[in-house]
Amino acid sequence: MSDVHSRVSADELSTFIACAFESVGVPESDAKIVSKIMTEIDLLGGSGHGVFRLPQYIRRIKAGGMNVTPDIQLEHETNSTAVVHGDNCIGHLAVKRATDVAIEKAEKMGVAWAGVKMGNHAGTASVYARMALPNDMIGIYSAVGSANHLPPWGGLEMLLSTNPIAIGVPAMDEPPVVLDMATTVAAYGKVKTAAQRGEEMPVGWMVDNQGQPLTDPKRSNEGFLIPVGEYKGYGMALVLGLLAGTLNGAAMGHDVIDFNADDESLTNTGQFICMISLKAFGDVDEFKRQVDDLARSLRASPTLPGFDQVRLPGESSQGKHDDFSKNGIPVHPELTKALDVLAQDLGITSLF
Amino acid sequence: MTESAESIPRFDPDVLRAFISRIFVAAGIPQDDADLVAELMTRSDLEGSDTHGIFRLKMYVGAVLAGKTSKIPNIHIERESGNTAVVHGDDGLGHLAMNFATKLVIKKAKENGMSWIGIKHGNHAGPASLWAKMLLEHDMIGIYSAVAGVNHVAPWGGTDLLLGTNPIAFAVPGLEEPAIVLDMATTVSSAGKIQVKAQRGESMPEGWMIGNDGQPLTDSSRMNEGSVLPIGGPKGYGLALMIGLLAGTLNGAAFGKDVDAFTDPGKNAPNTGQFIAAISIEAFGDVEGFKRQVDDVIRSIKASPLMPGFDEIRLPGEQSNRRNLYRVENGIPIHDKLKAVLNGLADDLKVEGL
């Protein structure tokens, strides 16, 4: 891997991202917040959602599709809830604000829930759920995905997104348990990789518009991703969309703009974050010890043929974070090229 | 299969309610509690949760008579903050602790915008949707989850049965359209469905279970020789794990290797954990506006062109809603086998049968 990927330190990457944003008019303090979160996403191995998205974000800002000087406000507020109006800001800013508000309220009340409206794509789900961990909280995050890839189960019209959900739970000596999943069996990224490699997809990833298994990844635009558990995953995508979108007055269903194809239209992306303070439910250390126990008992399970170990959600991300913090974040050669082009366009120092 | 095509004897809900109540009273449960649990169990049957209503009566009563379930529990708040609480169910009937927790979650969500209540030392409390739906009439979104009473699921890639099919339910109100009520196990099939297949001598489709050899397990009589498969493989495993942490570990309830099979007599009380969360819609904006948007989403989904092989698109909760309408009118179907079990129970307790 290391011979094809260049590695960059987290600090270098973060500085580069911040420079790029500042060069298109984003205030320094905002550029810093966003670049820190995007770098954290790359450190955790969420490679399709970190710096990979930078050219797209910059393109949208230049096209006037994202507001660089937003007035982010709390539109509704109670003891334990808030709706953050993002004013079409860079998505990370509104979600970070919602996360801070939720942590503050959960500290006082026990649990808090903050929704976002008028936001934008904000990176991976787990990066926000993980913000709970240093506060001795459990974090739950979901978002309306930035393009509809999913028809309702039994239908043909793409009315839903693969709305992701992330849940982060702190442990004591073990790594935190952090689930981050889309509501489909396979992500589009995996389909694209299979196409690149000329491999067949397993039955169960996609169906064609006749409802038959689709296994040729080159024909992926003729079919649909299959939700986890079929109608169950459809139900989850729907409910998460209502919670992350509709409840906050954000787009959901046919209102969702394809963020990848359209740089200009207002997306009104919605997200929510829920924070649960451990101390409201019992002794914090005792809880974390229990999580350790559970993690160890799962890992100690005998394995099925073909598996070398039982993993816990978030374990491989944590491993990457440890590796990349020490040895640098690998950047794919194609991405390096794209970032070089971006740096030239913006007149900033290139990453390598 | 449409319900009207079934030729199973049907019973008036009032008759079932009275029957369940007199069984509980004969087993030593106070009249008010017996009436409440009977009402909730009958509601589960009306809504089509056939394996979570009166079907469970014998098991519940067995646990009461064995002293595993407390007849007069001291259900109380063990810990409380502004909008959270841990309710200690004192090993009483599961519905009683959940009923207590649901009242509390409604009160706290009204005052604070949202609330989250965990339960410890509870028991099996019927279908997940029963509780999530209770928040609808308060203009709240309900979320409920529970640690399943038996571990049928191995962690992804492993063979130790350390997890349950841990269900989760969400209820979201519409305005003119029926509420969206998702109630799902985190496994492809519920354990109950497999037990029904085993009883009928039918095989399972591939994808429901996996044997310890890693091969598909389709012989339903060999259910205890493998793991029930989670939805989406590692994803469903992750969900079952997270639900267990939230509904179990967080509240000091059993999860993982501590989960005792509550169907197994002679063991201690299972210390079942649940949680219920309520989100008050008015904290987020105009309630009617929200419900209208939900209607819009429902209608646009219903209007989608169909995939070949489907005759309609269903919303989560639609089927149980239809069942309920039909059963209120025509009664609740009770198989003869189940009826015999129930009447046997009545004989044992010396009360009038069904």
A46/A133 same-domain check: no
pLDDT at position A348, please? 97
The residues near A38 (Cβ < 8 Å, ≥ 6 apart) are A14, A17, A50, A51, A53, A54, A92, A123
Residues of A in contact with B241 (CB under 8 A): 177, 179, 298, 312-313
Choose the closest CB to A297 out of B162, B235, B246.
B162
Choose the closest CB to B235 out of A79, A181, A307.
A181
B214/A177 touch (CB, cutoff 8 Å), yes or no? no
Choose the closest CB to A311 out of B157, B184, B316.
B157
Whether chain A has a CB inside 8 Å of the CB on B238: the answer is: yes
**Chain A residues 221-260 with CB within 8 Å of chain B:** 228-229, 231-233, 235-236, 238-239, 241-243, 246-249, 252-254
A26/A91 same-domain check: no
**Chain A residues 13-52 with CB within 8 Å of chain B:** none
pLDDT at position B148, please? 93
B214/A305 touch (CB, cutoff 8 Å), yes or no? yes
| B219 alpha carbon, distance to own chain's centre | 26
A249/B116 touch (CB, cutoff 8 Å), yes or no? no
| A279 alpha carbon, distance to own chain's centre | 27
Low-confidence residues of chain A: pLDDT under 50 = 1-3
B285/A76 touch (CB, cutoff 8 Å), yes or no? yes
pLDDT at position B309 over 50: yes
A252/B113 touch (CB, cutoff 8 Å), yes or no? no
A304/B157 touch (CB, cutoff 8 Å), yes or no? yes
Choose the closest CB to B160 out of A277, A290, A302.
A302
Query: pLDDT confidence of B46, banded at 50, 70, 90?
Result: very high
Whether chain A has a CB inside 8 Å of the CB on B167: the answer is: no
Which chain A residue's Cα is nearest to B234? A313
Whether chain A has a CB inside 8 Å of the CB on B288: the answer is: no
pLDDT at position B327 over 50: yes
Residues of B in contact with A298 (CB under 8 A): 155, 158, 160, 162, 241, 256
Residue identified by tokens 């992330």 is A166
| Residue A144 included in any domain | yes
B1-65+317-354 CATH pick, 3.30.450.20, 1.10.10.60, 1.10.1140.10, 1.10.1530.10 = 1.10.1530.10
Which chain A residue's Cα is nearest to B229? A229
Q: Are B164 and B259 in contact (CB under 8 A)?
A: yes
How many other C-beta atoms are found inside a 10 Å radius of the C-beta of residue B314?
17
Q: What does the block give as tokens for A143?
A: 């978002």
A242/A352 same-domain check: no
A154/B306 touch (CB, cutoff 8 Å), yes or no? yes
DSSP letter assigned to residue A174: S
A309/A320 same-domain check: no
Residues of B in contact with A289 (CB under 8 A): none
A23/A86 same-domain check: no
pLDDT at position B193, please? 85
Residues of B in contact with A229 (CB under 8 A): 184, 187-188, 231-232, 236
Our CA-based measurement puts residue B33 at a distance from the nearest CA of chain A, in whole angstroms, of 27
pTM attached to this predicted model: 0.96
Q: With a cut of 0.90, is the ipTM above it?
A: yes
Query: pLDDT confidence of B262, banded at 50, 70, 90?
Result: low
A75/A141 same-domain check: yes
A242/B172 touch (CB, cutoff 8 Å), yes or no? yes
DSSP letter assigned to residue A226: P
Mutate to test the interface with B, among A239, A271, A274, A290 (most CBs of B within 10 A): A239
CB pairs under 8 A between A and B: 254
**CATH number of the domain that A102 lies in?**
3.30.1370.60
User: Which helix H or strand E contains A243, and what residues bound it?
Assistant: helix A231-244
A149/A245 same-domain check: yes
Q: Which of A160, A127, A159, A161 is nearest to A141 (CA)?
A: A127
pLDDT at position B6, please? 64
A178/A240 same-domain check: yes
| Residue A340 included in any domain | yes
Cα torsion B52, B54, B56, B57: sign:
positive
A306/A320 same-domain check: no
Whether chain A has a CB inside 8 Å of the CB on B277: the answer is: yes
Residue identified by tokens 């070949």 is B308
Percent of chain B with pLDDT over 90: 88
Whether chain A has a CB inside 8 Å of the CB on B283: the answer is: yes
Q: Which of B130, B128, B68 is nearest to B93 (CA)?
A: B68
Distance in angstroms (rounded) separating the CA atoms of residues A210 and A213: 9
pLDDT at position B192, please? 80
pLDDT at position B326 over 80: yes
The residues near B66 (Cβ < 8 Å, ≥ 6 apart) are B265, B266
Q: What does the block give as tokens for A178?
A: 């952090």
Domain ranges in chain B?
Answer: 1-65+317-354, 74-173+231-282
A97/A75 same-domain check: yes
CA trace torsion A116, B246, B287, A120 (10° rounding)? 20
Choose the closest CB to A297 out of B231, B256, B280.
B256
Whether chain B has a CB inside 8 Å of the CB on A81: the answer is: yes
Which chain A residue's Cα is nearest to B143? A239
Choose the closest CB to B242 out of A111, A179, A301.
A179
Residue identified by tokens 């209502």 is A242
User: Using H for helix, E for strand and C for coil, what is the string for chain B?
Assistant: CCHHHCCCCEECHHHHHHHHHHHHHHCCCCHHHHHHHHHHHHHHHHCCCCCCCHHHHHHHHHHHHCCCCCCCCCCEEEEECCCEEEEECCCCCHHHHHHHHHHHHHHHHHHHCEEEEEEEEECCCCCHHHHHHHHHHHCEEEEEEECCCCCCECCCCECCCCECCCCEEEEECCCCCCCEEEEECCECCCHHHHHHHHHHCCCCCCCCEEECCCCEECCHHHHHHEEECECCCHHHHHHHHHHHHHHCHHHCCCCHHHCCCCCCCCCCCCCEEEEEEEEEHHHCCCHHHHHHHHHHHHHHHHCCCECCCCCCCCCCCHHHHHHHHHHHHHCEECCHHHHHHHHHHHHHHCCCCC
A135/A78 same-domain check: yes
From residue B5, alpha-carbon distances to A189, B2, B9 in Å are 45, 6, 12
Q: Which of B171, B166, B141, B140 is nearest to B151 (CA)?
A: B166
Q: Mean of the pLDDT values across residues B275-299?
A: 98
Q: Are B224 and B130 in contact (CB under 8 A)?
A: no
pLDDT in tens, A259-298: 888 999 999 999 999 999 999 999 999 999 999 999 999 9
Mutate to test the interface with B, among A278, A304, A307 (most CBs of B within 10 A): A304
As for how many domains chain A has, the answer is 2
From residue A160, alpha-carbon distances to A76, A265, A288, B14, B257 in Å are 26, 19, 36, 42, 37
Our CA-based measurement puts residue A178 at a distance from the nearest CA of chain B, in whole angstroms, of 9
How many other C-beta atoms are found inside a 10 Å radius of the C-beta of residue B220?
20
**How would you classify the pairing of strands B332-333 and B10-11?**
antiparallel
**CATH number of the domain that A47 lies in?**
1.10.1530.10
**Domain assignment of residue A160, given as a range:** 66-184+227-313
Residues of B in contact with A231 (CB under 8 A): 314, 316
A304/B81 touch (CB, cutoff 8 Å), yes or no? no
Choose the closest CB to B313 out of A108, A154, A304.
A154
Q: Are B220 and B203 in contact (CB under 8 A)?
A: yes
Distance in angstroms (rounded) separating the CA atoms of residues A153 and B14: 36
A155/A295 same-domain check: yes
Give the domain B74-173+231-282 fold.
Ribosomal Protein S8; Chain: A, domain 1 (3.30.1370)
pLDDT in tens, B196-247: 888 888 999 999 999 999 999 999 999 989 999 999 999 999 999 999 999 9
Residue identified by tokens 């409840």 is A247
